[in-house]
Homo-oligomer: A and B are copies of this chain.
Amino acid sequence: MPHMTAATTELDRAMMRLALELAHKAAALGEVPVGAVVYNGDVVLAEAYNRREIDSDPTAHAEMIALRAAAATMGSWRLEGCSIAVTLEPCPMCAGALVNARVKRLVYGAADPKMGSVDTLHRLCTDARFNHRVEVIAGVLAEESAEVLRAFFRVRR
């Protein structure tokens, strides 16, 4: 069962639509299409999409790039009070990074049966043994988020 601990707002949906646009940009570049937006209230701090192939960087998932850019904007590694919208359920690396960065809320779209580590395979964002927990809102624009990925792999297989 996905987490349902917090309310989705119209702002979250607007941010997810922006994340979906970013995912489409990734697809156009031949990257697995995942997009992410970090925001504080209605201020967008960072936008990013997956760049693993282009950057030859195993850490260049959308969430990681967005977290690093948001921290650079804030001048601090602590992203307390910030939310992140991401089209796909974060992998263990990205879920762990959200905890490390003290992100307040994670809003994600499609579940990831292969690597999802927020609800599907592990629950890293809400592990009470860690020094920070992230509120999780799952399934926001899930169908659109999954369709971007399906369309990408349909063409390439």
Contact = CB atoms under 8 A, between A and B. Distances in A.
Interface of A: 52-53, 55-61, 64, 67-68, 71-72, 74-79, 91-97, 99-102, 114-115, 117, 121-122, 124, 127, 129-131
Chain copies in complex: 2
A93 B64 CA distance: 10
A59 B53 contact: no
B92 A95 contact: yes
Contacts of A95: 92-93, 96
A139 B37 CA distance: 39
A62 B31 CA distance: 27
Contacts of A59: 59, 64, 67-68, 97, 100-101
